[in-house]
Copies of this chain bind each other. A is one copy, B any other.
Amino acid sequence: MRYMSSADGHGARHTVSMDASTSRPHVVILGGGFGGLKAARALARAPVRVTLVDRANHHVFQPLLYQVAAASLSGPDIAAPLRHIVRRQRNITVWMEDVTGIDVAARRVQAGAQTIAYDYLIVATGSTHAYFGHDAWAEFAPGLKTMNDALAIRRRILSAFEAAEREPDAAKRAGWLAFVIVGAGPTGVELAGTLAEIAHHTLPREFRIAQPRKARIHLIEAGPRVLPAMPETLSATARRKLERMGVEVHTGTAATAIDAAGVRMGDEHVPARTVLWAAGVAASPLGAQFGAERDRAGRVKVAADLSLPGHPEVFVIGDLAWVEQCGQRVPGMAPAAKQMGAYAARVVRDRMAGRTAKPFRYRDFGSLASISRSSAVVDLRGLEFSGFAGWLFWLFAHILFLIGFRNRLAVMWNWAWSYMTWQRNARIIVGRDRTQ
């Protein structure tokens, strides 16, 4: 660990490395999501030392996080320890630590009590929830970005049905059986669809007083349609399907107040004890450390090779990067992050070999969203389809990209079981939080 010193207040013990292995350039990657992990793996055979830092010990397959929140999958089904994923890659060290500061002038990262010097830095710390200036809403309307978020949302959803069962007052019971999802992008649509399935199919037989069938699920969206990034025909299909499942879709409707009692939207107040946030995202706060230009969501403007202007040794990738191509933003999606991760790793290798890298080019393969247990919408930029065929495509795409053979089998098995029985396999409530 010669490239690292303890934080001793003055940095004097910092970083002198002489032996052969440590004379290799040190690439530090912040964040083990899709972008950071891809970059790490793409450097497997490069003559560098890599340190991958993440505050969690695991990589999460985010597209299925909503299924953990909805108790269909257990956390370990869609996550794997980062150090397990890269265990065969001898040039990598994995650190589970919070990164608290980046000093681009001194080429140092502060991670917990320690300072890490780098030769190249790849920042892939992603995004977090944004409440459009209403930070007080966070307490009442949790968002879904991390495994801890998913488990907290699962706890709230399941606990709401439990509270309804105990509640003797009918009006209060209705509040426990009302769910509002704010934001109708893919996450909002998937949460609404799966909540409808839970309420109307999984739970009814098991409750005696509460009637889960009477649960109301509201999906509200400030824009004119659900899945705004998709073609209009697929939006219309998704909306029709959701409504047939009993989801109440409110488009052109913004939340104007959220508290423990429910959500105000325009003149209407919807009493609901469970509100989930799937609306805004903001770039990771680390983006503020560079003093670089940023957009309103905090994304960092990068050069054509994804490097920080004035700092060719620093790359910003994934949801944290503001990249434009043909006048359009590259979207904050897993495939884009992976492409950027692979690209940044290639630039590092090229530079070391004295080659000049071509500018980054995003290849857009499309997007997809699941609506129910046998329906999804798929937009492959030119080819659009939905329904059962869409769902099969969704299924195989997700199984294919899930990391780890064991996870693939486990998820397929859980899905098959749920499909046959309508059951949710992970309906256990652990931990406690304020609202319960």
- Asked if B57 contacts A427 (CB within 8 A), the reply is yes
Whether A87 contacts B206 in the complex (CB less than 8 A), given A162-B57, A165-B95, comes out as yes
Given contacts A76-B427, A147-B430, contact A168 B206 (CB under 8 A): no
Expressed in whole angstroms, the minimum distance between the Cβ of A65 and any Cβ of chain B is: 12
B166 and A114 form a contact (CB under 8 A)? yes
**Which listed segment binds B: A77-85, A189-197, A241-249, A350-358?**
A77-85
Q: How far is the CB of A146 from chain B (nearest CB, A)?
A: 9
Q: Min CB distance, A88 to chain B, in Å?
A: 8
Decide if B57 touches A96 in the complex (CB within 8 Å): no
Contact across chains for A96 and B148 when beta carbons are under 8 A apart: no
Alpha-carbon separation in the docked complex, A75 to B430 (Å): 9
Q: Which residues of B contact A4 (CB under 8 A)?
A: 168
Q: Report if A256 contacts B (CB, 8 A).
A: no
A1 is contacted by which of B112, B209, B431 (Cβ under 8 Å)?
Answer: B209
Distance of A67 from chain B, by nearest CB (Å): 12
A residues 184-222 near B (Cβ < 8 Å) are 205-209
- Evaluate contact between B427 and A168: CB separation under 8 angstroms: no
Does A128 have its Cβ within 8 Å of any Cβ on chain B? Answer: no
Smallest distance from the beta carbon of A306 to chain B beta carbons, Å? 27
Distance to closest chain B CB from A213 (angstroms):
15
Q: Nearest chain B CB to A173's CB is how many angstroms away? A: 11
Instruction: Let me know if A276 is at the binding interface, CB within 8 A.
Output: no
- Cross-chain contact B76 with A112 (CB below 8 angstroms): no
Q: How far is it, in angstroms, between the C-alpha of A168 and the C-alpha of B158 when the chains are bound?
A: 43
Asked whether A428 is an interface residue with its Cβ less than 8 Å from the other chain, the reply is yes
A112, A209, A425 interface centre (most CB from chain B within 10 Å)? A425
A406 contacts B427, C-beta separation under 8 Å? no
Q: Are B81 and A166 in contact (CB under 8 A)?
A: no
Q: Given the interface contacts A168-B114, A205-B87, A425-B406, does A158 sit within 8 Å of B431 by beta carbon? A: no
Query: Do B75 and A77 touch (CB < 8 A)?
Result: no
B428 and A81 contact, CB distance less than 8 A = yes
A95 to B425 Cα, complex, angstroms: 20
Min Cβ gap A211→B in Å is 13
Give the distance in Å from the alpha carbon of A178 to the alpha carbon of B56 in the complex.
Answer: 22
Identify which of A81, A417, A421, A428 gathers the most chain B CB atoms within 10 Å of its CB.
Answer: A428
Cα–Cα distance between A208 and B429 once the two chains are bound (Å): 36
* Interface check A413, CB cutoff 8 A: yes
* A374 CB–B CB distance under 8 Å: no
What is the distance, in angstroms, from A273's C-beta to the closest C-beta of chain B?
Answer: 15
Tell me, rounded to whole Å, the shortest Cβ–Cβ distance linking A139 to chain B. 18
Residues in B whose Cβ lies below 8 Å from that of A57: 158-159, 162, 427-429
Q: Using Cβ atoms and an 8 Å threshold, which residues of chain B touch A324?
A: none
Smallest CB separation, A76 vs chain B (Å): 4
A97 at the interface (CB under 8 A from B): yes
Say if the beta carbon of A151 comes within 8 Å of chain B: yes
A430 touches B148 (CB 8 A): yes
Q: Which of A76, A84, A207 has the most CB of B within 10 A?
A: A76
By a CB distance below 8 angstroms, the chain B residues around A429 are 56-58, 96
Given contacts A1-B168, A114-B166, whether A428 and B209 have CB atoms under 8 Å apart is no
Q: A95-B162, A148-B430, A410-B425 are in contact. List 15 more A-B contacts (CB 8 A).
A: A1-B209, A5-B168, A57-B159, A76-B426, A76-B428, A79-B428, A80-B427, A83-B207, A84-B427, A92-B208, A96-B166, A112-B166, A151-B431, A406-B421, A413-B413
A-B contacts, 15 of them at CB < 8 A, read A4-B168, A5-B168, A6-B169, A57-B158, A57-B159, A57-B428, A74-B76, A75-B426, A83-B207, A84-B427, A94-B165, A94-B206, A96-B166, A96-B429, A410-B425
List 3 tightest A-B contacts by C-beta distance, closest first. A76-B426, A74-B74, A96-B162
